Amino acid sequence: MDHYVKTLWDIEQIKKLKAQYCQYADSGEHADEFAELFLSDAVLDEGDDGVFKGREEIREMYKKIWPYFSLNQHLVFNPIINIDGQVATGDWRLMQLCSTKHADGDKAFWAVGYYREKYTKVADQWFFAHVMARVHFCCPYEDGWAKTPFGELLSPQAMQELGL
């Protein structure tokens, strides 16, 4: 396969991997499928929300966090993907719309941030080796980012239950 065609093919496969990440992350029902997108020793670094090492920790995080969400929608765009043989890097912009469960009813949030990622190709399939996710703001829908850049996404009880 021509080098340029192969590079474009690999970029498209990484875009597909990221689309699957978003699809599974937003379903609440696919912890196993989500975790299988990662290498067995991968790292999912969500900053203050935790660093999860290995496929099993990633799977367990997914199972623990989803009961607190009633809606989650990851929208990723502006990928910058660089292929270097069997490894690659990628930067993505993130817009996330979500609703979390609270005692007084669901609360809606906007979040904007970015992903910085490393990928490894194993037997012609790309996997996440390292995902770093950061948010610039995560604000209540009603207030907006100018008024309240960081709202109470999860209740204090949920944060305690999750160990955050």
Q: Is the pLDDT of residue 113 over 90?
A: yes
| CB-CB contact of 115 with 132 (8 Å) | yes
**Mean pLDDT value of segment 60-74:** 94
Handedness of CA 109, 163, 33, 92 (dihedral sign): positive
CATH architecture of 3-162: Roll (3.10)
pLDDT band at residue 3 using 50, 70 and 90 as cut-offs: confident
**Mean pLDDT value of segment 34-58:** 96
Structure tokens at 59: 């799977």
Domain ranges of the chain: 3-162
pTM, two decimal places: 0.92
- For position 53, what pLDDT does the model report? 98
Tens digits of residue pLDDT in 17-31: 999 999 999 999 999
| CB-CB contact of 58 with 37 (8 Å) | no
- The helix or strand, by DSSP H or E, that contains position 17, with its residue range, turns out to be helix 3-27
Q: Is the pLDDT of residue 1 over 70?
A: no
Neighbours of 42 (CB within 10 A): 22
- For position 126, what pLDDT does the model report? 98
Structure tokens at 49: 């929300």
